[in-house]
Structures are given as structure tokens and as C-alpha cells.
Amino acid sequence: MKTDMELRDDVLAEVEWEPSVDGAQIGVTAHDGVVTLTGRVESYLEKTEALRAAKRVIGVTAIADELEVHWASEARNSDTDIAESVHRALASNASVPKDGVKAIVDEGRVTLEGEVKWPFQRIAAEHAVESLRGVRMVTNAVRVAPPLTSPSVVKAKIEAAFKRRADVDASRITVRTEQGTVILEGSVPALYERDAAESAAWSAPGVRSVEDHIRVNPALR
């Protein structure tokens, strides 16, 4: 088990290793596996990449995000400019259904709303706007309304996906399905493995939502 100091140093090293992040502007504290990131970043995309870097570190069980996005004054856009950019980004993304996703912009905070048939379309909409100039935060409220699929088929496909993946130990995770909702339970040794399991579950046909109750326990390594 890592000490708090060792975990903090490992997260700092991984954040600084990520080329899209200015690690010099980010502070890290750690306590009992919970890591807190503080400081300022120049874009929402840089913020998300810093959080993804922290998740990759063994020993991290949870992350407190206290990063603030501060665009340089000359790079700030009005909400109207941002809304127009979001509209163009969604319209030009082949994975986002035409007129399926709408956006509300308030002081640089983008809320995505609408309904799509597949989880990857919901995720594609978020990725399409997270790197846009002026965006400070993205809230993805897009609903997934997939074609009806038998719960037993959904469960079997997710379990098969877990067994195929190198970053998920299928023996540690149980899957339940209830009317389009997938419930994941169990314990894994790293936060990135929990995220990988949730991502795999979202990819199954017929999934409307995923409840991730997987616990992170570094002692399992």
C-alpha cells in the first residue's frame, strides 16, 4: 500500500507526463487513496485530461476535482460565440444524430440535452464540445433511449465484453440488469479498471443507464 506522500508524488508525475496538461499549474494532495487536484488550467479539455491522468495511477480510489478553468482574457468568448461553436461542432460530428442534441450555454458552462439511441452518440456529443474555446464546464444530460433488448441478452453481452478486455478482470465484477439499467457491483484494484468496466457496459445494445457500484480497493493487487 502506498503512503499518502507516495501516491501524491505518483499522481503529480503522471499529470506532468501527460503532454496536453501543464502540470506546473496543478497541485495534488492525497489521503487514504482520495486525491484532490487544485489549480488553474487553460481549457476544459486540459482539465479532463488531468483528471484522466490521475485516474490511471494505481492506488487512487477517488478524485476530488477542484481545478478551475481560466481562459486568458484575450481568448474569452461570449456565450453567444460559444453556443454557435457548439452548434457547429455537434452538426459536423457524424456520430451525433442531426437535431438529436441541443445545448444551453451559461457563462461558459455547456449543458447538453436531448435524446439519442446509443450511448456512444451521447459520449460523442460531449467529446465534440469539450475542446472548444471558452468552454469552462460540460454537463451531459442527454438521455439514451435504445431499442428494446432482452435483459438477459444485455447481461450476457456485457459479461462477454469484460472477458475480452485486458483492462477488466471479469471475475471481480457482477452484472445485473433492470429495465434497461445496468448495475455493476464488485471490487477492483484501480480506478481506471472501474472506468473501463463502466465504459464497456455503456457499449452494450439496449442500455439506458449504468449504475456503477464497483468499489476500488488497491489491496486487491
Co-location of 166 and 208 in the same domain: yes
Cross-strand partners of 183: 176, 211
Show the cell assigned to 89: 461542432
Q: Do 63 and 109 fall within a single domain?
A: no
Which DSSP category does 47 fall into?
A: H
109-128 pLDDT, tens per residue? 999 999 999 889 999 999 99
> Residue 91's domain spans which residues?
74-144
**Residue ranges in 18-150 assigned as alpha helix (H):** 44-55, 79-92, 119-129
* pLDDT (tens digit per residue) in 134-191: 999 999 999 998 888 888 999 999 999 999 998 899 999 999 998 889 999 999 999 9
Of 70, 91, 113, the position where a domain reaches its end is 70
Q: Which pLDDT value is given to residue 147?
A: 80
Report how many domains make up the chain: 3
What is the reported pLDDT for 72?
67
- The CATH number assigned to the domain holding 172 equals 3.30.1340.30
Decide if 129 contacts 95 (C-beta within 8 A). no
Average pLDDT over residues 61-70: 94
Same-domain pairing of 48 and 88: no
The pLDDT of residue 74 is above 70: no
| More confident of the two residues 221 and 181 | 181
Q: Which CATH number does the domain housing residue 115 bear?
A: 3.30.300.130
Contact between 190 and 197 (Cβ < 8 Å): no
